[in-house]
Structure 1
Amino acid sequence: DSDGDGDGVSLEKPFQSTSFERLEGKLCVSLMTRNGRVGCASSNSNNEESMTGILLHYSYILKSAQMDESEDYVALCNDLEYTTSLVTQLQSIIGSRLKGIVLVNSTALPSTSTNSNNDNNNNDNDSSSAYRHSPALAQPHDSGYTWNPYGDGMMELDMYGVPAALVTDSEMASYLYKVAHSQSLPAIVSSFEGMYMGGPSSSNVDSSACLTWKDISDGNWSPKCLPLGGNSVWASTQGQLGQKKTLFLTSNLDATSMFHDAASGANMAAANILTLLMTAQLIGTLQSQLEELQYQSVFALF
């Protein structure tokens, strides 16, 4: 509480930025496509500088009858429990009082922890993981595809107003998971600071607007995002396709994972591109023998 000395702390605003300890993690980012936003972002309603709520395991939040309707909450789950079904359930139950989601690395938890609360989540793809939310955008999602066994459509879910962070440190993940389950322990208040990304609403920002963003104070170009997998580049040997069976050699320009820093494709793109170019160069040395090869080679970067 406040002692009236003008320190800015009161019962109405009990926390300042100095009250919080920075928690290292991988943030869920906004991905801007030509059709609009996907991914996570803090809400800019009422010019909030941060989004703060009591950290609580999602299973308690889903039991809405036990919730204090005056409180804001940050839901905690492990990365195997983080599914489209869970996010939509949380949003429908507590709406704007959901101030964010904290994911903990499931490999840091006891095996019983990863299965103890799956009954609360009706999604059949509980094996999905924050590391694996990277299917191609604007494509139908079907777990029957062998290349996308964990897909549940989360990349098409606009989670504007629901920031999320992935905690990978084993000790911290285990501690947060325990505290979020223990109602007898003092509550941890979690705050998402500076995670607002673009636009006053979820519907008016696409990749074009994001890249052409200008600072309103001086009118200078100040884009709020970087290009991400916006183009593909490909080339083939022996000209026109269709004359032979095609052998595709591909790599990635970037990764479209919502947790971009946790995606291997985001951190290994340069090495992958270099490897593909070197492969193309080596095959190119066989120019006089290309006609004799059984397959026609196509090199592609996506």
Structure 2
Amino acid sequence: LLCAVPAASQNDAPSDALADVQRAANGGPLHSASDAPSAPWTQQIELRAADPCVLLLNATGAHGCATRNDGTIAPLLPLFEQADIDTLVASAVPSKALMVAIEEELFTPKAVEDLETHLGDRLVGMAVLSHGPAEAASTATAKAAAAAVPESQPVPVAAAVASVRPDAGAAQRLLSMRRFKYGVVLLEGDEVEAARRLLRRRGAQAAPLLELKFPMSARGNASSCLSSRTCLPLGGHSVWGALQPRTAHATPPERSKPSVTLAASLDAASPFHEHAPGAVASVASVVAVLAAVAAVADDDGMLAQMHALSATPLFALFTAEAWGQAGSRRFVKDVVEFNCSDAPVAKPEAVDGGGDGSGGGDSGDGVDSSAGALRNTSGDLPQLPRCSSPAFDDIRFASLGGGAARSVLVVDSVGMRDAQLHVHTRAGDESNPVASALFAAASSSETTLSTETRLPNALSATVVASLPPGPATSFADSAAVAALSSTTQPHAPLAGSTFDTRATLDAGRVCVAATVAARAWWSLAGGTGAPSANCSLVEALLACMLDETLCGLAVQLGVRSSLASHYTSVYIPYATELTPTVAFVQRWLKLKLRQGCNASAACAPTVALHRAFSPAIALDEQTGTWSVLDASDDSVWAESYWPEGMHATLWPFQPSNLETALLFAFAVANAVAAAATVHVCRRGGRRSWSSFRIE
């Protein structure tokens, strides 16, 4: 009791922790002499994979979670079923602070409100217990599914997906907007299993203690924290480009030629930073765009038509769309309002051939910039145009001004199981050329896809007279726009939640959406032929962007971090860092489109980055300070800085009353003994005191 026990090291196996807590749960001794290697786990379990809800700020104030600066520790009370919540809120208010461990499917706005109303300031933390990406199911359904298979086998995916509540996505989207006055973390894997086993114990001092230390630096609202430099705008970088490569004779896009853009949202949202899979909300749409690009780029006959097209086929994947369409609105604003006050000057070629709109490269966190497959081979290409005021390292986007963006086709929330595709347009614009091209493309798609991916009635014949939030609404005032989606609603049912996983997707339907989009896009550009998506490529890209394990392709492209979460990042001026999601997509596009150069040294793929943050936020380039131009704009969002030393720790046992009394008595006795020693030493004179001094 009196000696500090070291924390578990990085090499301690989670199975040791589970073995220890299993013994404790069964009422046996915590560990014997033979269990010495795992002894540290019995004193504390460092929850290294705990994923915190973070503090976000908009114009009205703070949203999300944070603990006190010194953290909080309290007993952890299990809420495994709705009946546990009902019992707690019907009981007397506890006299001491506590935290609750709540199953992921019970983590809803109503449950949180009921707990906060009843417990008040006694509620000081919350741990959300995840079932993992393949088993986001209610307790009853999970038990029923597990009973049908051997215990060692996982619960079937279909059973797990079917059990997710239809309103789970909407519930977690609301929770993302809520202000919690305490810390909230998501636990998964071996750590959540250890917590569950500890929480199932019965008897005195059975409740474990949970310590949360996740203070956040920002205070007030987005405007005040940006001014005090304790936060950064939500965003990062969008990826855009053209099918036509840059050569010694042309730098697409050409100002004199209209463009047809195939677009999608690149990232996702969730209450938890590292658990934003966004399978339907964004990943399926991104994969559909990539597969559509590949369908044209892999066809030599279509590449041969490139110079004769009536419009330039562009692609764009926008960041921070879940936060007021910040990425696409920033892009549109920069295109429309860009005015370089100095003569455009040449910029030395970047390693990967093109930077963003503000000096960012593509190396940094989670990305290996030395990837051999992507080294520059641009030879004698003319250098990219840039502007020093305002500072842009690459102003190719300016060529899209003056009405050059003729048509925009947005792929939005495709691939849902058992769902038709729907065409969305603005009310009164149901027969615009983009919508017409989509219907024409869908009418031919079923006859050319393989039997495995041929879907009857792939596209609904009814147009939805409203645009989903995202790139479609951002371009609606400047181009003919239509969106392709698996839902008639503004959001997919599980969008914005931890439940929007790969298990919710039908890869065949993603492939159909990619084919429909590719054909409509190519037709709008004036091309002939019917490109078809490679369904094997679709499967591989979905696996790369949604599985926990880093895929071989990502490693080849120099991406070092997992692609399993696509949470929106922050925009850091002049930084060279990209999120793994942005880096993977940008590098994949460059690798795919490089084949259009036919090994020519004087040729480079047209793939660029563009800054992504709210168009209602401005950066003073001289001082590096931020300002909010329009506090009422719903894209004004910022994320707090994360201080050092944040952690979550689970303590399996609370000290008993006897232990507490003994510790207090020992402390008093120790203080009395120390005082007596000092008194005796002083009476012995200065020489005697010196003999006790530590040299």
Give the TM-score range, shorter chain.
0.5 to 0.7
Is 1:169 aligned to 2:189, yes or no? yes
Whole-angstrom distance in 1 between the partners of 2:137 and 2:164:
13
Query: Which residue of structure 2 aligns with residue 301 of structure 1?
Result: 318
CA distance in 2, matches of 1:182, 1:67: 22
Indicate how the Cα distance of structure 1 residues 191 and 154 shifts in structure 2: closer, same or farther if over 3 A, else same.
Answer: same
Tell me how far 1:92 sits from its aligned partner. Answer: 0.8
Aligned partner of residue 75 in structure 2, secondary structure: strand
**Residues 96 and 73 of structure 1: CA distance in aligned 2, closer, same or farther (over 3 Å):** same
1:113 and 2:136 matched: no
Considering only CA atoms, is the larger Rg found in Structure 1 or Structure 2? 2
Distance 1:110 1:150 in 2: 12
Query: Structure 1 pair 300/96, CA: closer, same or farther in 2 (3 Å)?
Result: same
d(CA) in 2 for partners of 1:212, 1:94? 36
Give the equivalent residue in structure 1 for 2:76. 55
The CA deviation at 1:74 is 1.0
C-alpha separation in 2, matches of 1:255 and 1:112: 24
Q: Is 1:205–2:221 an aligned residue pair?
A: yes
1:151 aligns with 2:170: yes
**Residue 29 (structure 1) shift:** 1.1
Q: Assess, with a 3 A threshold, how the Cα gap between structure 1 residues 247 and 106 changes in structure 2: closer, same or farther.
A: same
What residue is the counterpart of 1:135 in the other structure? Answer: none
Match in the other structure for 1:127: 164
Of 218, 241, 262, the residue aligned with 1:248 is: 262
Corresponding residue number in structure 2 for 1:39: 64
Once the two structures are superposed, residues 98-126 of structure 1 have per-residue CA deviations (whole angstroms, 9 ceiling, x without a partner) of: 1111112224989773669xxxxxxxxx9
Look up the SS of the partner of 1:175 in the other structure. Answer: helix
Matches within 5 A, 1:260-275: 260-264=273-277
Q: Extract unaligned runs of 5+ from structure 2.
A: 3-42, 143-162, 243-252, 320-695
Contact 1:109 1:173 in 2 (8 A): no
Distance 1:228 1:66, change over 3 A: same
- Choose between structure 1 and 2: higher helix proportion: 2
Distance 1:96 1:115 in 2: 34
Shift in Å at residue 23 of structure 1? 1.4
Structure 1 SS opposite 2:72: strand
**Aligned residue-pair number:** 228
Q: CA deviation at 1:248?
A: 3.0
- CA displacement, residues 61-86 of structure 1 (integer Å, 9 cap, x when unaligned): 54234455212111111222211111
Partners of 2:71 and 2:105 in 1: how far apart?
27
Label 1:264 to 1:113 Cα distance change in 2 as closer, same or farther (>3 A). Answer: closer
Q: Which residue of 2 aligns with 1:289?
A: 308
What is the Cα deviation at residue 91 of structure 1?
A: 0.8
Q: Normalising to structure 1: TM-score of the pair?
A: 0.58
Take 2:137 and 2:175, find their aligned partners in 1: how far apart are those partners?
25
1:189 to 187, 209, 212: 209
Q: Distance in 1 between matches of 2:273 and 2:129?
A: 16
Give the TM-score normalised by structure 2: 0.28
Aligned CA-pair RMSD: 4.5
Output the amino acid matched with 1:212.
S
**1:175 Cα deviation from its structure 2 partner:** 3.4
SS at match of 1:127: coil
Deviations 1:43-77 (A, max 9, x none): x4xxx612222111235454234455212111111
| Aligned mates of 2:45, 2:308 — CA distance in 1 | 63
Q: Check conservation: 2:93, 2:119, Cα contact below 8 A.
A: no
Q: Are 2:240 and 1:227 equivalent residues in the alignment?
A: no
Distance in 2 between residues matched to 1:289 and 1:226, nearest whole Å? 44
User: Aligned partners of 2:136, 2:277: CA distance in 1, in Å?
Assistant: 25
Aligned to 1:261, the other structure's residue is in SS state coil
**Structure 2 counterpart of 1:22, from 42, 46, 62:** 46
Cα deviation, residue 188, structure 1: 0.4
| Contact preservation (8 Å) 1:167, 1:173 | yes
Please say if residues 62 and 90 of structure 1, whose CA atoms lie closer than 8 Å, have aligned partners that are also in contact.
no
**Residue 176 of structure 2 contacts residue 271 of structure 2 at CA under 8 Å; is this kept in 1?**
yes
Question: Amino acid of the residue matched to residue 30 of structure 1?
Answer: L
